[in-house]
């Protein structure tokens, strides 16, 4: 059975890995070879296509692109663009973290990734040195630290600013806090912990960002609000502070109210007719994953919808709609830079509002989001392996092969005997409709007592093949998003179409998904990719 299954090849369902590879190429084509591979922050599309340098090329882009290559390689195994990666890494060390305070956080995140990847004294010192210099640059009062604060009594629910993120106290702090939160989980660093706790106290008690029940308004990523929420959640989980954990879970639930079920998340939480920046989807995914991992595993269903839909659709895979028609000498340069970039502005069914330009931040963030999801597809805790999302990937414990969106079929090739294997059943499937086999023999479906929707299997040995079959139902639904009704056609948790979509760059043109058997590929794609050293 196992041999047969291996010979059959695999369905073409490696969506996250392919998106990362497209992103790698987009990064490499967004670097200025005449300036030592300095990134171009902006790809201008209108009135004339142009690659433009900005201050964000430096601390921001060098960090995000370093981060993207570092996280994306263990997922794809791609060895392309090593020279570009090394050049970016070298340029990172020359960047001024305080050119804009936002840079410091992005740079610290990259240094934390480099430390997690290879925890040497030198890399640890790079993190601590930058953290110390941030400490010297921020304001300290009472038990909190900050870059700037608004007048007493300012709060986002009443005084949210839209169109300018500079007014948010979390704007320069979010990235710094997130980096410190992750770093202090892996390194003894009392000074970093102290600085992080001081910033958390500022955001929670002084800044006016969040109401006690987690509500807020304003710019989620660009204003640093969701980035800070991820950091605060990580810190609260580490300290087991249940009140703050609840508050940050509410922040996510509140954000969902303004988002679509398929993962369109507005950068401006508040008024209707908002726009989604891919960076925001990444922050939301990060916060959601923490909830799924530590508090409520049913949240993986939400994240799988995000993964299959808006995260992928926000990536440019067509260049024609965004570039001037006809041929001109530089056109291939812009096509290569655009193809695989992630949109900085999107509507729930189109990229029509992204015709002016595409920012580089979203490209780094898109790869990061794919990585974050990929890393949680299958996890192991206390000897128990859990398959949390039906997305194809290999791992050291089990290979996950999903046939969605074509077929309701999940195959698990066991690599390593484990105390138990848990598999999350899709949330639209009733147990009676699913069929479970091990090496072709039917098994009763036993759901795990401890968590909703997980099937539990015990006594599996290396080499065995688990197969789960379930119906993929197609349903139509109306969903109101940002003040507008959308007709959405779902097949399982995959969106096939959204109406209205758009005139220039409509999304969810997914006719190609509407076949009943999965297109197959020879061999096992990404077979060697079982994860790296960095986990978030």
The residues of the shown chain that bind Zn ion, judged by CB under 5 A, are 277, 279, 361-362
At 59 the three-state DSSP class reads helix
Q: Which is nearer to Zn ion, 358 or 391 (CB)?
A: 358
Q: Which is nearer to Zn ion, 361 or 418 (CB)?
A: 361
**Minimal distance, residue 492 CB to Zn ion, in Å:** 29
d(CA 63, CA 283): 16
d(CA 471, CA 488): 19
**Minimal distance, residue 277 CB to Zn ion, in Å:** 5
Identify whether the C-beta of residue 343 lies closer than 8 Å to the C-beta of residue 362.
yes
Q: Which is nearer to Zn ion, 351 or 362 (CB)?
A: 362
Helix, strand, coil percent values for the chain (each to nearest 5):
40, 20, 40
**Minimal distance, residue 220 CB to Zn ion, in Å:** 11
447's tokens: 């759901």
Q: What letter does residue 407 receive in the DSSP assignment?
A: S
Short-list 445, 472, 427, CA closest to 300: 427
Q: Which is nearer to Zn ion, 344 or 464 (CB)?
A: 344
Maximal C-alpha separation, the chain: 68
- Count the residues in the chain: 536
Q: Which is nearer to Zn ion, 208 or 360 (CB)?
A: 360
**Minimal distance, residue 267 CB to Zn ion, in Å:** 8
Identify whether the C-beta of residue 283 lies closer than 8 Å to the C-beta of residue 226.
yes
Q: Which is nearer to Zn ion, 61 or 414 (CB)?
A: 61
Please state whether beta strands 38-39 and 31-32 pair in parallel, antiparallel, or not at all (unpaired): antiparallel
d(CA 483, CA 486): 10
**Minimal distance, residue 65 CB to Zn ion, in Å:** 13
**Minimal distance, residue 166 CB to Zn ion, in Å:** 16
**Minimal distance, residue 99 CB to Zn ion, in Å:** 18
Give the rounded distance of the alpha carbon of 91 from its chain centre: 25
**Minimal distance, residue 365 CB to Zn ion, in Å:** 6
Q: What letter does residue 339 receive in the DSSP assignment?
A: T
Examine residue 47 and say whether the peptide bond preceding it is cis (omega within 30 degrees of 0): yes
Identify whether the C-beta of residue 220 lies closer than 8 Å to the C-beta of residue 255.
yes
Q: Which is nearer to Zn ion, 61 or 418 (CB)?
A: 61
Please state whether beta strands 398-402 and 31-32 pair in parallel, antiparallel, or not at all (unpaired): unpaired
Q: What letter does residue 40 receive in the DSSP assignment?
A: P
Short-list 77, 55, 53, CA closest to 393: 77
Q: Which is nearer to Zn ion, 68 or 206 (CB)?
A: 68
Q: Which is nearer to Zn ion, 369 or 421 (CB)?
A: 369
Short-list 345, 349, 353, 282, CA closest to 311: 282
Q: Which is nearer to Zn ion, 362 or 401 (CB)?
A: 362
Q: Which is nearer to Zn ion, 84 or 277 (CB)?
A: 277
**Minimal distance, residue 458 CB to Zn ion, in Å:** 45
**Minimal distance, residue 175 CB to Zn ion, in Å:** 12
Q: Among all chains, which residue has been given the structure tokens 């008024």?
A: 271
**Minimal distance, residue 32 CB to Zn ion, in Å:** 20
Q: In 96-241, which residue ranges form alpha helices assigned H by DSSP? A: 101-117, 121-137, 156-159, 174-186, 190-201, 225-239
Return the ∠ at Cα 448 (arms to 247 and 5), rounded to 5°: 115
């Amino acid at each position: 059975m196992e041999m047969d299954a291996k010979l059959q090849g695999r369905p073409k369902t490696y969506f996250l890995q392919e998106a990362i590879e497209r992103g790698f190429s987009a990064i490499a084509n967004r670097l200025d070879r005449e300036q030592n591979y300095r990134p171009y922050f902006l790809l201008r599309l209108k009135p004339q296509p142009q690659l433009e340098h900005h201050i964000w090329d430096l601390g921001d882009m060098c960090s995000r692109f370093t981060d993207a290559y570092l996280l994306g390689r263990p997922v794809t195994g791609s060895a392309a663009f090593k020279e570009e990666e090394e050049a970016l890494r070298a340029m990172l060390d020359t960047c001024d973290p305080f050119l804009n305070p936002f840079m410091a956080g992005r740079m610290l995140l990259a240094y934390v990734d480099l430390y997690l990847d290879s925890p040497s004294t030198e890399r640890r010192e790079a993190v601590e040195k930058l953290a110390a210099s941030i400490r010297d640059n921020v304001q300290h009062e009472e038990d909190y630290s900050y870059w700037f604060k608004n007048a007493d009594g300012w709060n986002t629910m009443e005084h949210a600013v839209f169109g300018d993120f500079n007014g948010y106290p979390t704007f320069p702090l979010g990235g710094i806090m997130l980096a410190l939160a992750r770093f202090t989980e892996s390194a003894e660093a009392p000074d970093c912990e102290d600085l992080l706790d001081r910033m958390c106290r500022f955001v929670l008690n002084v800044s006016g960002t969040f109401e006690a029940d987690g509500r807020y308004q304003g710019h989620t990523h660009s204003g640093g609000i969701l980035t800070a929420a991820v950091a605060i959640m990580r810190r609260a989980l580490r300290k087991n502070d249940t009140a703050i954990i609840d508050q940050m879970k509410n922040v996510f639930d509140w954000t969902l109210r303004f988002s679509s079920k398929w993962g369109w998340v507005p950068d401006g939480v508040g008024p209707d007719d908002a726009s989604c920046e891919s960076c925001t989807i990444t922050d939301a995914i990060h916060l959601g994953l923490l909830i799924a991992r530590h508090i409520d595993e049913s949240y993986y269903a939400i994240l799988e919808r995000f993964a299959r839909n808006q995260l992928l659709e926000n990536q440019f895979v067509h260049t024609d709609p965004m570039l001037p028609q006809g041929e001109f000498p530089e056109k291939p340069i812009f096509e290569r830079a655009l193809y695989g970039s992630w949109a900085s502005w999107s509507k729930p069914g189109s990229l029509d509002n992204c015709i002016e330009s595409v920012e580089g931040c979203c490209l780094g963030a898109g790869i990061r989001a794919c990585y974050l999801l990929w890393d949680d597809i299958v996890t192991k805790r206390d000897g128990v392996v859990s398959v949390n999302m039906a997305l194809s990937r290999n791992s050291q414990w089990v290979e996950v092969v999903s046939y969605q969106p074509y077929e309701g079929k999940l195959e698990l090739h066991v690599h390593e005997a484990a105390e138990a294997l848990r598999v999350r059943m899709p949330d639209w499937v009733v147990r009676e409709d699913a069929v479970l086999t091990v090496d072709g023999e039917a098994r009763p479906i036993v759901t795990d007592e401890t968590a909703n929707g997980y099937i539990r299997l015990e006594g599996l040995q290396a080499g065995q093949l688990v197969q789960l079959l379930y119906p993929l139902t197609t349903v139509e639904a109306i969903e109101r998003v940002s003040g507008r009704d959308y007709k959405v056609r779902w097949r399982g948790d995959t969106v096939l179409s959204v109406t209205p979509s758009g005139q220039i760059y409509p999304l969810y043109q997914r006719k190609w998904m509407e076949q009943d058997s999965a297109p197959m590929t020879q061999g096992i794609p990404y077979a060697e990719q079982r994860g790296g050293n960095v986990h978030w």
